[in-house]
Structure 1
Amino acid sequence: MNDSGKSDAGGFELVAIRLPVVATFAALIAGLGLGAAISGFGLPDWLIEGAALIGTIWLRALQMTIIPLVAGLLVLGCAQMVQAARAGAAARRFLMLVFAVLIAGGVFTAVMLPLVLSIAPIPASASAFLAEVPQGAQEVPDILDFLGSLLAPNIIAAAAETNMLPLTIFFALFATAITRLPKGQGERMLGFFHALANTMLLIIGWVLWLAPVGVLALAFGVGLRGGGGAFAALAHYILVVSAMGAFVLLLAYALAWVLGGINPLRFAAALLPAQAVAVSTQSSLASLPAMLDSASRLQLRSSTSEFVLPLAVAVFRATSPAMNMAVALYVAALAGIEITPALAMAGIMVALIISVGSVSLPGSISFVVSIGPIALAMGVPIEPLVLLVAVEMLPDIMRTLANVTMNVAVLSAVDRSQD
């Protein structure tokens, strides 16, 4: 996830938020460790229930911002994509490659992650992460139910019921319609959603500033229930999700070779400086100068690279469907939820729309905004996400590395297509 605080395409400036990432991670480790250390003692019920209440209140504060924030960001991001498509043939070729890569990543994860988990099962101790998840019968839709759910007759009711798939489709269509309005009307509508997104970002920023407190309380309960095995569960999660991002990384080399006509060894050598910046900063935006230098090393046209790479940083997050679907499917497997082809299709569609429609945000906010709707669309509980966000700084290294590599790979394909 690009951890920039704003988008530099389409003129949409979002409020910059600095999040206590290290403090949140430390709170997770401290909470798990403290809970595991004293799990054998007979703690009073009021202490355990009090910690759970603090965590629940923080979780609900986070949940209440998801739908309005997604609405604002989707309208801004989709309008931005439509504007980019009007920039010329090179932009349209770039966007075609973007959609192809994003769909490939989502489908790969939907097929491969269950196989990976069958070979390397989730540790039994991971069940401690599900203590606060509401229990209930799961409704598994068939293909006809799925097709019928694509559009909601009442968008307000869909929002109240957190039906994310019809909501994301509606706001994508809404954004496209805004770009067709007369200039003054379109600017006023985008201005409203711009203000809505910034307002929600401020609120979610305040909530995430309290993340160390909420995560500490929730992790304490997980440590009490799961003991030291909770650490093994987190390590397993990080490796599995990062493996899905590794597919996108390898796909970038293949794309540069097949469509860009660049030898993989030459491509790898030219990308090393940009990849080093990506790993150290975990920011695609900060890696932009190094990506431009790598494009020069590959002798790609400066006119193409100076157009495509800034656009890619603004609108293209290559690993999003693959790794976001991986998180949602991992939690589904953890909760014992059967993911049917219809549910997987719903998740991929929401992941695709969210990915192409959301502008660049800090990594922790992107985690909540991007994965929450996918999980809701597939009927997956989102409660475990509030603890997984604390370790997102580790999978985020793979996200940024693969995103930066794929940006240059797509650039090489667009540049060659102009021949």
Structure 2
Amino acid sequence: MKKLASNLTFQVLTAIALGVLVGTLFPGFGAALKPIGDTFINLIKMLIAPIIFLTVVLGIGGMGDLKKVGRVGGKALLYFEIVTTLALIIGVTAANLAQPGVGIDARASVATQSAAQATEASKYTAQAAAGEGMNWVDFFTHIVPHSLVGAFAEGEVLQVLLIAVLFGLAISRVPAEFGEPLMKTFDRLSHVLFGVLALVMRLAPLGAFGGMAFTIGKYGLHALLPLGKLMLVVYLTMFLFVFGVLNAIMRFYGLSLWRFLGFIREEILLVLGTSSSESALPRMIDKLERYGCSRSVAGLVIPTGYSFNLDGTSIYLSIAAIFLAQAFTIPLSLTQEITLIGILMLTSKGAAGVTGSGFIVLASTLAATRVIPVEGVALLLGVDRFMSEARAITNVIGNGVATLVIAKSENEFDEARHQRALQGLAVSGEEVLEPTHPLPETHPDATLPDQQRH
């Protein structure tokens, strides 16, 4: 019993249940607990930029073959585009078949919304207007930061990733007497940061409790009833996508989705409690290394996927857009739906892995299409938070599968380490997190003690 109580999975599950209970019985108190969940997410977010930087630099710096870096990145982007486009098509098809928005008097609902809802809806509308002119040029120019410090200070994942890639490439080109000491220093810093992450993760149950108590306390369980059909369609579609599409991809590469989900169960529960896929990002990099992926592949694919491979967000955006069209009785032609998918292929790539980002991107998409009223997002205010858990969990699983696929295709997958992970020998809930192999075995001076190698 004592061992069970100390298990992180059990602690997070208990915290989520308590959060639901407190939010239901004491809604005012539950809504006031929002800062607890936000603070935990901020603790995780402060570690994301340096962990990504060190992981990518160590991976590329020790990779040696620069052509390999470009090949891995190219394969990842191609995979992301294919799978997220498939997710969008599946979402549009599911919404057209289920028709969750039919029969809802959307215009009356928006007109009679409370003052608080109107204020919140106007906030998202304003943010949508700001993103109305978004295009590929703006998106890619934003990847280049104004300063090195600014990218880290603002937590811009793609900007930090760009800096790390350039830094890793530079290290691989300088003479060994300059590059190797830096690599050793970065490796030691990486160990320390994963140690800090292990300490922060002890607060995961508290963060999950605060996030769930706020959600139930503010919106209440009754908020789910009017839009229950929409939620059901979203959850079922994501379930079918994960256990249909992603499961088929895993089976094609000789891997088991069920075993992988069991291995990352703590990260899934953490995302469930916090509604933020970003809260699991650092641990996912470490877990995938332990599961058999090389550091270079995990360090490149996971951070990039958080902007380019948001499968759950893509499904939500497509279903929500069609739902609002149905709710406002706006018939969409096949051409308009194809256009909508095309716009979502762009706007979904700009969604961050944090709570509420999908909602803002939806408003931006509606503003860009000029077909469905942007004010319609007010209809989703009561249930968007409940659907954000499904989005975030699907995003995390999708990025994990993408990393395994790229690692397999690049022969960067350690089957022996994978088998140890399946047997529970590679990680435990209480184990201090540290990189799977401090320096690539091909590095000319990888002289760390044997006991640090796995």
In structure 1, which of residues 383, 388, 391 is the aligned counterpart of residue 383 of structure 2?
Answer: 391
Change (3 A) 1:378 1:281: same
What SS class does the counterpart of residue 292 from structure 2 fall into? Answer: coil
Residue 131 of structure 2 contacts residue 364 of structure 2 at CA under 8 Å; is this kept in 1? Answer: no
Matched positions, count: 275
Deviation at 1:94?
Answer: 0.8
Q: Render the CA deviation track for 1:80-106: whole Å, top value 9, x for unaligned.
A: xxxxx9952111111111101110011
Task: Indicate the SS of the match to 1:383.
Answer: helix
Q: Where do residues 221-232 of structure 1 align in structure 2 (5 Å cutoff)? A: 232=225
1:305: Cα distance to partner?
1.5
Trace 1:200-349 onto structure 2 (pairs within 5 A).
232-250=225-243, 251-258=245-252, 260-349=253-342
SS in 2 for 1:103: helix
Where 2:88 maps in the other structure, the secondary structure is helix
Q: 1:406 and 2:401 equivalent?
A: no
Equivalent in 337, 346, 356 of residue 364 of structure 1? 356
Q: Judging changes above 3 Å, is the alpha-carbon distance between structure 1 residues 315 and 87 closer, same or farther for their aligned structure 2 residues?
A: farther
Give the SS at the match of 2:356.
helix
Q: Percent identity among equivalent residues?
A: 18
What's 1:105 paired with?
Answer: 87
* Preserved contact between residue 344 and residue 378 of structure 1 (Cα < 8 Å): no
User: 1:337 deviation in Å?
Assistant: 0.9
Give the Cα separation in 2 of the matches to 1:262 and 1:299: 11
Contact 2:293-2:407 within 8 A present in 1 as well: yes
Contact 1:339 1:378 in 2 (8 A): no
- Deviation (angstroms), 1:108: 1.2
Q: Deviations over 1:97-141 (max 9, x none)?
A: 110111001111222211112xx67455767425479xxxxxxxx
Q: Check conservation: 1:375, 1:382, Cα contact below 8 A.
A: yes
SS at match of 1:394: helix
Residues of 2 paired with 1:391 and 1:337: CA distance?
Answer: 22
Helix, strand or coil at the partner of 1:338? coil
Q: CA deviation at 1:328?
A: 1.0
Give the letter for the 2:136 counterpart.
A
Provide the C-alpha distance between the structure 1 equivalents of 2:283 and 2:101, rounded to a whole number of angstroms.
39
Alignment of 1:163-178 (within 5 A): 167-168=133-134, 171-176=135-140
Structure 2: gaps (5+ residues): 1-19, 29-66, 114-128, 151-155, 157-217, 412-454
* Offset, 1:274: 2.3
Q: Counterparts of 2:362 and 2:311 in 1: how far apart (Å)?
A: 13
The aligned counterpart of 1:129 is 109
Which position in structure 2 is the counterpart of 1:6?
Answer: none
* Counterpart position of 2:374: 382
User: Residue 264 of structure 2 aligns to a residue in which SS?
Assistant: helix
From 337, 341, 344, the counterpart of 1:351: 344
CA deviation vs aligned residue, 1:352-410 (integer Å, no higher than 9, x gap): 10122x25264235412334324651611222312413321110110111111111100
Specify the code of the residue in structure 2 equivalent to 1:96: L
Q: Which shifted more, 297-306 or 276-285? A: 297-306
Mapped partners of 1:379, 1:411: distance in 2: 37
Distance change >3 Å, CA 403–CA 174, structure 1 → 2: closer
Verify the 8 A CA contact 1:123 1:233 in the aligned structure 2: no
Distance across 1 between alignment mates of 2:149 and 2:285: 32
Distance 1:86 1:417, change over 3 A: closer
Gap change, CA 1:289 and 1:175, over 3 Å in 2: closer
Alignment partners' CA distance in 1, 2:239 and 2:255: 20
How far apart are 1:177 and its partner, in Å? 7.1
Partner Cα distance (1:290, 1:402) in 2? 16
Distance 1:275 1:124, change over 3 A: same
Q: Distance in 2 between matches of 1:263 and 1:246?
A: 16
**What does residue range 28-43 of structure 1 map to in structure 2 within 5 Å?**
none
Counterpart amino acid of residue 245 in structure 1: M
CA separation of 1:121/1:346 partners in 2, compared to 1, >3 Å: closer, same or farther? closer
User: 2: CA distance between counterparts of 1:285 and 1:386?
Assistant: 25
Structure 1 100/392 Cα, relative in aligned 2: closer, same or farther at 3 Å? same
Q: What does residue 78 of structure 2 align with?
A: 96
Aligned partners of 1:364 and 1:389 also within 8 Å: no
Quote the Cα distance in structure 2 between the aligned partners of 1:274 and 1:289: 10
CA contact (8 A) 1:245 1:322 kept: yes
| CA 295–190 in structure 1, closer or farther in 2 if over 3 Å, else same | closer
Q: Which runs of 5+ in 1 are unaligned?
A: 1-21, 31-84, 134-161, 180-185, 193-197, 199-215, 220-228
TM-score, normalised by the number of residues in structure 1: 0.55
